Each structure stands twice: as structure tokens, then as C-alpha cells.
Amino acid sequence: MEEIKCMLSSKKMEDTRILPAADSTPCQFEKFKLVAFSEPAKKDPIAIKVRMVISRKMASVYTEMCGLSLLMSRNVFERGSSEFTMNPVIDSMGVVFTATEIMRVMCPGESSEIAYDPEAYLELTLTCRIHMAAAFFMAYKMKTEEGWRQGTGMPAYVLSKFVCQHEFGNVTRRELCNMLSEGELAILAQLKIHSISEYNIYSVVEYKLEYLLEEGLITPLASCMALSVASFYLYLLRCVTDTEFLETACKEHGGDAVCLAVVAVCISSIMCSFTVDINHLPKENLIIFDYTSLRLALEMVDIRINCKEFITRGFPSLCCLPVAKKAKATIAESIEHWKQPTGLQKENLENQAFVVKEFVNVS
């Protein structure tokens, strides 16, 4: 019994190391002026449907091909991170989000209605689906830097996931590869593809989490947890419900504010989960969010709470409904604190800075 008491005592002392030092200064996120997003489709139900079908198909193909071990689902191998990065549904590398972003920029706003064909597969035109295959293949190659030897048939297999066999006609595998290559060239000719890949919402969220990691405000495992939460909410707002929310918010408040809102949801979700080890809790009294980002974060969590649609399985418990409800209360409390700024908050008022909430000493 004495040994047990001693172990508990030492563990309690060790937990205090997550508290910040007295002379610690709050972080200041870098503001990204360049965040890639497309024009939202606000009023046209067909355009909204087209963009949602594209997102769902991208996610479905990626999950299937990773399940067959044809593609890899993660490139982060931090100890204990498999729960948060391995499942292809989580899209921890941002392949699906990047591919979807490419297609949304190709089919912006109400003009995406031209890709609608009620008699075709997925109710999308053949040209649109070839571009989907090309965007998917390009996004995967950019995010993983993988390549395939000539003759493996991978390009033809990817194309077959978006185009039906009877639409191919009597063509060879080489001709299918050429078809996909022509689709890639068409996208490259129209879009700044690397800017879209490196500065879309998901990528900027990664940059902001990387900053928190470098500043010692989150642990490597906590960054993987945050990435899985970010993936969940981006999946929710692309494939499930309110699928034009991200674009609308980016247009009204700026892409950087939306990315910061996603990070705020991630940090709040980690803090509100009972499954997170205390040593991996963020030092959230040093993580600064502005008022606009917090309001957007509150809207995102509200959408998750009120969602009645089926959400595919595979996401970690950090994304469950009870955690979302607690995160909503935390973010709402943070907004109230912002309305009554403390001394620290007044110093950062020019940047609309705001401390999430005071740290609670669990010991």
C-alpha cells in the first residue's frame, strides 16, 4: 500500500510540468494571407449537390484503395498515434481534402452545375469524373511523393474508380493512362496546383499546429490528436452537412480566421475529452485565438451537435457528440472572457487576441 501511495504522489508531482512558467508569453499565430478556397455555391441546389458528391466520392475511393493496401493512409508514425492517423477515413495526410479543393476550384460556385448529368454515373459528366480521377491522383502524389513504375496499371485502376467500364470502350491500358495524364495536364494548365496543395485550409491548419508544437504548447501526440479532430470537422463540412460553410466563412471572414477556428475546435476537444492523458493536454492558457475565430469555432461545433446525417465510422472518440457538447461550452465561456478582457488580453487587443480560458489545476 505504501508503494502505491508513493507512486501516486510522484505521478501527481509529474503532472504539474504541463503548467506554464510564470514568465511564459502567449503564442501569436502567424497570419496567412494566402489560403486557397473556392467560390461558395449558396443558392443553386444542383451546384451544391455536385460539389458534395465530388467530396464524398473522393473520400470513398481513398478509403477503399487504402483498405486494399494500394495507397498509404499516413506518413506520421509518432508512438501512440495510430489511433489518430492510421484509419484512411481520417485522411491524416490531407489527400482527400486537397483533391476535393482542386475540384472545387475547377467547379466554383454555381458554375459547378455544368458538371451535372442526371443520366451519367454519379450524375456527373464524363469530363468531370476524369478530372476527379486526375485531381485525386495528383493530390496523392504531391502529399506522399510516391511514384509508380511503368506497367503497374495504377493510373488505369484509379481512373476505373471514377469512370464506368462501358464508358471506356475498347481501349488499352496505355490509352487509359494517357487519358488520366491528359486530365492532369488540363488541371495544371488552369490552376496553380501547388499553391492549392500547400495553402488550402487543411494545410494551413497543419502549419498552425506545427507552430504550437515548436513552441512546446502541445506534445507530438497531442498534435496528432488535433489533426484527427481537424480532419473530422473538415470531413463533416465537406461530405455530410453544411457543405458550403467553409467557403462561405472564408469569403466573409478570411481563410486564416477559418483555419484558426478549426485549431480552436481541436484544442477545445482535446481539453474536454476524458480519454486524453494529462501529460498530453495543451497549455491552453497560452494559446491565443481572436474573437472571429472563436465565433466560427462555435458555429462548427453547433453544426456537429445538430447534425442528423450518418457520419461514417473510423474517427476517434475525440470527435464524439459528448465531447463536442463540452467543447461548445468551453468555447462559449472563452467568448465571454473575451468580452471582459483581462490584463493579458488588453495587451493583445490590437490583434483581437484572446485567451481560451484559465487553466484548471487538476491536482
| Residue pLDDT, tens place only, 209-262 | 999 998 888 999 999 999 999 999 999 999 999 999 999 999 999 999 999 999
Say if residues 328 and 298 touch (Cβ distance below 8 Å): yes
Q: What local confidence, expressed as pLDDT, does residue 151 receive? A: 61
Spatial neighbors of 75 by CB under 8 A, at least 6 apart, are: 92, 93, 143, 144
More confident residue, 148 or 196: 196
Q: What local confidence, expressed as pLDDT, does residue 131 receive? A: 95
Q: What local confidence, expressed as pLDDT, does residue 31 receive? A: 85
Alpha-carbon dihedral of residues 97, 103, 108, 110, nearest 10 degrees? -100
Nearest Cα neighbor of 248 from 235, 240, 258 is: 258
Could you give the percent of the chain with pLDDT greater than 70? 84
Q: What local confidence, expressed as pLDDT, does residue 6 receive? A: 29
Which sequence spans correspond to the domains of the chain? 25-34+198-351, 45-196
**For 82-119, what is each residue's pLDDT tens digit?**
778 888 999 989 999 999 999 999 988 888 889 999 99
Q: Which band of pLDDT confidence, cut at 50, 70 and 90, is reported for residue 354? A: very low
Q: How far apart are CA 68 and CA 70, in angstroms?
A: 5
Question: Model pTM?
Answer: 0.84
* Least confident piece of the model among 107-111, 184-188, 190-194, 195-199: 107-111
Say if residues 102 and 191 touch (Cβ distance below 8 Å): yes
Is the pLDDT score of 35 beyond 70?
yes
Say if residues 59 and 283 touch (Cβ distance below 8 Å): no
Is the pLDDT score of 130 beyond 90?
yes
What single-letter amino acid sits at 351? N
Q: How far apart are CA 234 and CA 239, in angstroms?
A: 8
Q: How does DSSP classify residue 124?
A: B
Ramachandran region, residue 349 (left: φ > 0; alpha: ψ -120 to 50; beta: rest): alpha
